[in-house]
């Protein structure tokens, strides 16, 4: 259930309509609230406010009409600017980074505030009366509308500054790296469960289960799409309730095809269609990848920026080097975390599930394989890659981590010997590789 709630909240955060809708509804409530105050209090301006709120019903209509029209026009301008920025970001940094711009709270607040102010003025304008038998001018509501108009002018200035900064390459890379840091600090240690017992004991129990149930039943994928999240707590509860052992074939981030084997179910009793449906409901699929449980999502965003920068049409090695530096920082952090085990236990300590979590070698592959392949003809990128691997190697204390770093360093050196003709550069790379290997 917790995974489903996190998944739903993430969908709301990344939607471009939710926060503007909340702001619009809030302003509608604000309009009714101040109209109610005007009806009960009969606010009469005096002193300094008399210069702004005098003139009667006709003046009030003019003020509200001007503010409402201006806010609607600016809202259209803001929407156009946002579309231009999204188009630029898609072409320059990659379509997957559109999610980051849509996630931007200021963009959502600006669009929602201008539309909401327009609706506020329309609602207040409807209450202005100037008939023979009754005259009503909601002075307090009009004063609030004028304050909102002035505030929106300052908000527009802040928005223009924010947009001009947000499309700069270094700023985009920094934002993606912050998301990556937040993601890996949330997922490691992962909330899917903790390892109990020794690895030998876990493997022995698994072999006994395989011998007892040589022909497990299979739960197939209900539709095609990316696996965005898994409600592992729900799966363990189902396994404990029905006395099952579950073997998961995929992890969040993988693409699944309709009717593809999703889970292998080991049980003493036949697996009913109802149980299979319950198991299938714990897997959340969608059209795109999300960072809810996908540890490699933000890494792929940085890699996409670097790959586009290294394309022949752009040829921007400095942006690629910036991406390498940020990836290095995250991978150095990953050398000191405990990656989740493939085994999951219930509350009573019984082995219930075998999963496919990410590991350090996989994260290294996701971070550096494509950059190395695209940067093969760029000596500056190859040299910085080897420097990055040397930095990560100084933090790698576990044998498996060191082996992954050395494997990537060897691939970088092989590509350098094929593409770099300058002997001094090659000698420098060979010396750095020897240091990594000695360490």
* Terminal alpha carbon distance of the chain: 45
Q: What is the rounded CA–CA span in Å between residue 295 and residue 363?
A: 8
pLDDT of residue 202: 74
Instruction: Give the span between the Cα atoms of 434 and 418, in whole angstroms.
Output: 18
Confidence of residue 143 (pLDDT cuts 50, 70, 90): confident
Residue ranges per structural domain of the chain: 2-167, 183-189+294-338+358-438, 199-286
Per-residue pLDDT reduced to its tens digit, 72-131: 999 988 888 888 888 877 777 777 777 777 778 888 899 899 999 999 999 999 888 877
Per-residue pLDDT tens for 147-184?
999 999 999 999 999 888 888 888 888 888 888 888 77
Output the 3-class SS for 293-347.
CCCCHHHHHHHHHHHHHCCCCCCCHHHHHHHHHHHHHHHHHHCCCCCCCCEEECC
How far is the C-alpha of 282 from the C-alpha of 3, rounded, in Å?
9
Q: CA–CA distance from 263 to each of 200, 246, 279 (Å)?
A: 23, 7, 8
Strand pairing category for 351-354 and 244-248:
parallel
Looking at per-residue pLDDT, the higher value among 9 and 255 belongs to 255
Residue 61 contacts residue 138 (beta carbons within 8 Å)? no
Report pLDDT digits (tens) over 327-350.
Answer: 999 999 888 888 878 888 888 888
Tokens found for residue 215: 């022909």
Q: Which position has the token pair 């309009």?
A: 31
Model pLDDT, residue 48 = 57
HEC profile for the chain?
CHHHHHHHHHHHHCCCCHHHHHHHHHHHHHHHHHHHHHHHHCCCCCHHHHHHHCCHHHHHHHHHHHHHHHHHHHHHHHHHHHHHHHHHHHHHHCHHHHHHHHHCHHHHHHHHHHHHHHHHHHHHHHHCEECCCCEECCHHHHHHHHHHHHHHHHHHHHHHHHHHHHCCHHHHHHHHHHHHHHHHHHHCCCCCCCCCCCHHHHHHHHHHHHHHCCCCEEEECCCCEEEEEECHHHHHHHHHHHCEEEEECCCCCCEECCCCEEEEEEECCCCCHHHHHHHHHCEEEECCCCCCCCCCHHHHHHHHHHHHHCCCCCCCHHHHHHHHHHHHHHHHHHCCCCCCCCEEECCCCCEEEECCCCCHHHHHHHHHHHHHHHCCCCHHHHHHHHHHHHHHHHHCCCHHHHHHHHHHHHHHHHHHHHHCCCHHHHHHHHHHHHHHHHC
Handedness of CA 385, 387, 389, 391 (dihedral sign): negative
Structure confidence at residue 323 (pLDDT): 92
Which phi and psi angles does 286 have, rounded to 5°? -155, 180
By the 10 Å C-beta count (0-12 exposed, 13-18 middle, 19+ buried), 150 is classed as exposed
What was the pLDDT predicted at 195? 46
What dotted CATH number matches 199-286?
Answer: 3.90.1170.30
Question: Percent of the chain at pLDDT above 90?
Answer: 28
| Residue 196: predicted pLDDT | 46
Per-residue pLDDT tens for 358-384? 889 999 999 999 999 998 888 899 999
The count of residues in the chain is 439
pLDDT over 70 at 1, yes or no:
no
Report the pLDDT averaged over residues 27-46: 84
What is the biggest distance separating any 2 CA atoms in the chain, rounded to whole angstroms? 96
What pTM, to 2 d.p., does this model score?
0.78
The reported pLDDT for the residue numbered 249 is 87
Per-residue model confidence as pLDDT tens digits over 184-202: 777 775 433 444 456 677 7
Pairing of strands 343-345, 244-248: unpaired
Mean pLDDT of 204-229: 81
293 pLDDT exceeds 90?
no
> What pLDDT shows up at residue 47?
59
CA distance readout (Å), 89 to 32, 172, 301, 322, 410:
40, 9, 12, 17, 34
Q: Are strands 135-136 and 129-130 parallel, antiparallel or unpaired?
A: antiparallel
* Strand partners for 239: none
pLDDT digits (tens, 9 = 90+) for 211-220: 777 678 889 9
Q: Is the pLDDT of residue 221 over 50?
A: yes
Measured CA to CA, the distance from residue 403 to residue 417 in angstroms comes to: 21
Half-sphere exposure of 257 (CA within 13 A, CB side): 1
Distance between CA atoms of residues 279 and 260, nearest Å: 14
* Number of CB atoms found within 10 A of residue 81's CB: 15
* Confidence grade of residue 414 (pLDDT, cut at 50, 70, 90): very high
**Where residue 399 falls among pLDDT bands split at 50, 70, 90?**
confident
């Amino acid at each position: 259930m917790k995974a489903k709630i996190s998944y739903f909240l993430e969908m709301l955060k990344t939607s471009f309509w939710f926060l503007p809708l909340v702001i619009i509804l809030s302003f509608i409530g604000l309009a009714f609230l101040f109209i109610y105050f005007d009806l009960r209090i009969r606010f009469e301006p005096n002193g300094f406010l008399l210069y702004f709120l005098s003139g009667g019903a006709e003046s009030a209509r003019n003020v509200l009409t001007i503010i409402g029209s201006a806010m609607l026009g600016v809202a259209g301008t803001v929407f156009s600017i946002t579309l231009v920025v999204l188009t630029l970001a898609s072409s320059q940094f990659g379509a997957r980074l559109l999610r980051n711009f849509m996630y931007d709270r200021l963009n959502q607040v600006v669009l929602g505030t201008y539309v909401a102010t327009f609706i506020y003025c329309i609602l207040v304008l409807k209450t202005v009366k100037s008939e023979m038998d009754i005259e009503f001018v909601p002075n307090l509501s009009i004063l609030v509308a004028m304050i909102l108009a002035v505030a929106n002018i300052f908000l527009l200035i802040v928005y223009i500054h924010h947009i001009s900064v947000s499309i700069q390459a270094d700023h985009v890379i920094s934002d993606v790296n912050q998301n990556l840091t937040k993601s890996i600090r949330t997922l490691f240690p992962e909330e899917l469960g903790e390892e109990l017992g020794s690895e030998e004991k876990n493997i022995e129990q698994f072999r006994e289960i395989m011998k007892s149930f040589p022909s497990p039943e299979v739960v197939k994928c209900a539709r095609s799409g990316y696996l965005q999240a898994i409600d592992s707590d729900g799966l363990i509860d189902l396994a404990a309730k029905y006395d099952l052992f579950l073997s998961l074939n995929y992890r969040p981030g993988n693409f699944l095809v309709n009717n593809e084997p999703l889970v292998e179910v080991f049980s003493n009793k036949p697996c009913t269609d109802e149980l299979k449906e319950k198991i299938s409901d714990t897997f959340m699929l969608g059209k795109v990848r999300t960072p809810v449980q996908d540890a490699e999502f933000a890494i792929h965003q940085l890699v996409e920026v670097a790959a586009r920068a290294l394309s022949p049409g752009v040829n921007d090695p400095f942006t690629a080097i910036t991406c390498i530096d940020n990836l290095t920082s995250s991978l150095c952090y990953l050398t000191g975390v405990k990656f989740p085990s493939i085994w999951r236990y219930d509350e009573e300590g019984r082995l219930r599930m075998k999963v496919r979590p990410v590991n350090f070698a996989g994260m290294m592959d996701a971070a550096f394989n494509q950059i190395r392949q695209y940067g093969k003809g760029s000596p500056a990128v190859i040299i910085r890659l080897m420097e990055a691997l040397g930095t990560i190697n100084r933090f790698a204390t576990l044998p498996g981590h060191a082996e992954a770093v050395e494997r990537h360093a060897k691939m970088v050196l092989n590509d350098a010997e094929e593409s770099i003709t300058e002997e001094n550069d090659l000698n420098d790379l060979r010396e750095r590789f020897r240091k990594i290997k000695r360490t």
